[in-house]
Amino acid sequence: MHEKKIFENIEKEVDLLIIYNKGGPITDLSFYYITGLVSGGLFEGSYAVVHPDETKVITSLLEETSAKKGENEVYIFRTSQEREELLKKLVGSANNIGLNFSSLSLEDFEKIKKILGDRNYVNVSKAIMNARMIKDEYELKLMKEAAKIASEVADTIPEHFKEGMREYELAGRLVYEMLKRGAEDVAFTSIVAFGENTAEPHYVPGERKLKKGDFVLLDFGAKYHKYNSDITRTYVFGRASEQQKEIYSIVLEAQKLGISMLKDGVHGAEVDAKVHELIDSTKYKGRMTHSLGHGLGLAVHDHVGLSRNFDVVMREGMVVTVEPGIYVPGVGGVRIEDDVLIKKNGVELLTSAKKEELLEIS
């Protein structure tokens, strides 16, 4: 589906690409990207043989129906020997073979070499990622749906806050509410933190019970046709203290600053630095302990986004998260996260849940 775009990004001489999708835990998401097979099917142990103008898929009998829903030529194998023969046949005499070494194990590379013999193997992972970073209309349609599901859940989930409920209980509700709205899966393990636990940016939900005056931090996302959304909202159960309101308003201001700076051509590192500067100018200096955001797409952390450690120039069609936070150990933390599409002169917000004031849920 994106063959031409990928080949345009390849700098060396390459005749064709072989994408091998072993399946969990070494799933190659680029297999779905290139074949466009995003609406069902796992395609474990499948190959895509990619030319600038077409892709051929080698997959097993059990994926036949799913594979034939796509626009690729499909070849079915019944045994691993048949799979090897098909690969050999479809590759033919091509000598310069592009491989995606960011998602190919050494073992599977050795296997390909054994099947095809001595040829010129070229790493094309960067070219694939450069193509994946710029989303097209079809991808954006799926990402907008994933974002819409997450936004609706963020707006309605407070109805389910109950004194004494445990974090994992609310996490279960989050998952249910996303799937109920058409998500095929969650994008990642949801972060549900109450009270002092909100100070841990990557907290995993546990037994902590909800009590009055707690911060409630929810970081979650929906997966829709293999594309992800990622949203964070922070609420207070009961009445908010002055300090809670203060932290929230600084984080909101920081997020607005970040979003207002983003457009085609801007350096991600600069945006991240400015947002950290704002937070460091308050009494919460040093309390934003992570980068401002990451690229989003088929992977939740698709590519580097807004980070001082690795600069990425924003380009029209990129989708990044903007998620500043302040974390005070022993007290709690606030993070506000939205997914934004970079445009020529600004951004379009994909997530839309309310955030203008700290919601006090009673």
Distance of alpha carbon 135 from alpha carbon 318, whole angstroms: 6
Tell me which stretch binds Mn ion (CB under 5 A): 29-37, 148-156, 226-234, 310-318. 226-234
Tell me which stretch binds Mn ion (CB under 5 A): 24-32, 155-163, 237-245, 313-321. 313-321
Rounded least distance, CB 339 to Mn ion, Å: 8
Residue (21 or 232) nearer to Mn ion, CB: 232
How distant is the alpha carbon of residue 89 from its chain centre? Answer: 35
Residue (19 or 341) nearer to Mn ion, CB: 341
Name the closest residue to Mn ion (Cβ).
230
Tell me which stretch binds Mn ion (CB under 5 A): 7-15, 162-170, 207-215, 315-323. 315-323
Distance of alpha carbon 104 from alpha carbon 17, whole angstroms: 13
User: Which sign, positive or negative, has the C-alpha torsion 84, 88, 90, 95?
Assistant: positive
β-strands 338-342, 319-322 pairing: antiparallel
Residue (241 or 352) nearer to Mn ion, CB: 352
Rounded least distance, CB 298 to Mn ion, Å: 15
Distance of alpha carbon 221 from alpha carbon 151, whole angstroms: 9
How distant is the alpha carbon of residue 360 from its chain centre? Answer: 30
Rounded least distance, CB 199 to Mn ion, Å: 17
Rounded least distance, CB 163 to Mn ion, Å: 29
Q: What number of chain residues touch Mn ion (CB under 5 A)? A: 2
List Cα–Cα distances, 236 to 163, 188, 240, 243, 249, in angstroms: 12, 24, 6, 12, 13
230 interacts with Mn ion by CB under 5 A: yes
Which residues does residue 50 pair with via DSSP β-bridges, in sequence order? 17, 55
Rounded least distance, CB 255 to Mn ion, Å: 12
Tell me which stretch binds Mn ion (CB under 5 A): 44-52, 153-161, 198-206, 318-326. 318-326
338 interacts with Mn ion by CB under 5 A: no
321 interacts with Mn ion by CB under 5 A: yes
Tell me which stretch binds Mn ion (CB under 5 A): 3-11, 76-84, 146-154, 321-329. 321-329
Rounded least distance, CB 242 to Mn ion, Å: 28
| Structure letter (DSSP) for residue 329 | T
What one-character-per-residue DSSP string does 107-121 give? HHHHHHHHHH-S-EE
Burial of 53 (0-12, 13-18, 19+ CB in 10 A): exposed
291 interacts with Mn ion by CB under 5 A: no
Provide the binding-site residues for Mn ion, judged by CB under 5 A: 230, 321
